[in-house]
Amino acid sequence: REGSLLRHLHLPSEWKGDFQFDQFLRRYNEMLVNRGVISCVKCSTHVPPQDGSWINFSGWGDQNYTCYDCLQHYCYTCTRPADYGDTFMMTILCYCELCDKRFCPDCKKSTMCSCCEKAFCGDCRDFIDCQSGADCNAEICDQCVDEADAYERCCKCDRHFCRGCSYHLLTYCGNCQKSFCYDCRQEEEDPIM
C-alpha cells in the first residue's frame, strides 16, 4: 500500500514454489517499484534497471540491490574497492551462499573462497589465508580446509594452498597419492646432518 515503511524482507527458502508465496512476492515487488526512483549509493544509477526486478524470482525470492544489514541500495555493475583484498572481481553486494543474503563491504566482509569459488559472509564461514608464503592474497573457507584433498594440502607440513598456488608449489605422488610442498621436498632431498 502507498506510504508503507516496509523496505526489506528475508523469507524462508522453504516457501519457494508456493503459489500464494509467489503472488505475495509479486505484490511486494510492485510496492517497491511504485516507491519511485531509487539510485545506487555509489554511482547514482537507478536500481533496479528498467528490465530488472527488486525480487529475484528465479531464485527463491531474495531481494536484489539491497544490503541486508544497512538497507542501502547498490547496482550490480559497481565493484568493490581494489584495496578490499579480493582475489576475484566482485560487485559491491556480495551474496553469501549459505544464508542467502547480500552484504556491502561496510556492513560485513564477504569473501570468495579461492578453492570452491563460492562467496560466504564472515558469520557463515571462517577463512584462512593461502599458506604458500608467496605474494598470494587468496583465502580458503573452513569447509575447503576440512575437505582438502591431496592436491591442495601438503601431507607432511599440513599447509593449505589455494588452487593457483597448489599447481605451482605442490607435487603430487601417484604412488602414495599424497602431495608435498616445495619446502618439504627440499628437506627430503637435502636432509640436515
Question: How confident is the model at residue 193, as a pLDDT?
Answer: 42
Residue 60: pLDDT over 80: no
Question: How confident is the model at residue 33, as a pLDDT?
Answer: 86
Residue where the block lists cell 598456488: 165
DSSP per residue, 13-54 = GGGTT-HHHHHHHHHHHHHHHHT--EE-TTT--EES-TT--S
Mean pLDDT of 46-69: 81
Mean pLDDT of 171-187: 85
**pLDDT, averaged across the chain:** 81
Question: How confident is the model at residue 51, as a pLDDT?
Answer: 72
30: CB partners within 8 A, 6+ apart: none
Phi first, then psi, for residue 119 (nearest 5°) are -100, 140
**Across the strands, what pairs with 102?**
95
Question: How confident is the model at residue 79, as a pLDDT?
Answer: 79
Question: How confident is the model at residue 3, as a pLDDT?
Answer: 59
Q: How many CB atoms lie within 10 A of CB 139?
A: 22
Residue 83: pLDDT over 60: no
CA distance 111 to 125: 9
First to last CA, the chain: 81
How distant, in Å, are the alpha carbons of 16, 157, 174 from that of 32?
20, 54, 58
Question: How confident is the model at residue 84, as a pLDDT?
Answer: 53
CA distance 181 to 19: 54
Over the Cα atoms of the chain, what is R_g? Answer: 22
Written as nine digits, the cell of 75 is 547496482
Task: Evaluate whether 115 touches 93 at the Cβ level (below 8 Å).
Answer: no
Tell me the pLDDT tens digit for each residue of 100-136. Answer: 888 888 887 778 888 888 889 888 999 989 888 778 8
pLDDT category of residue 81 using cuts at 50, 70 and 90: low
Question: How confident is the model at residue 40, as a pLDDT?
Answer: 92
Residue 142: pLDDT over 70: yes
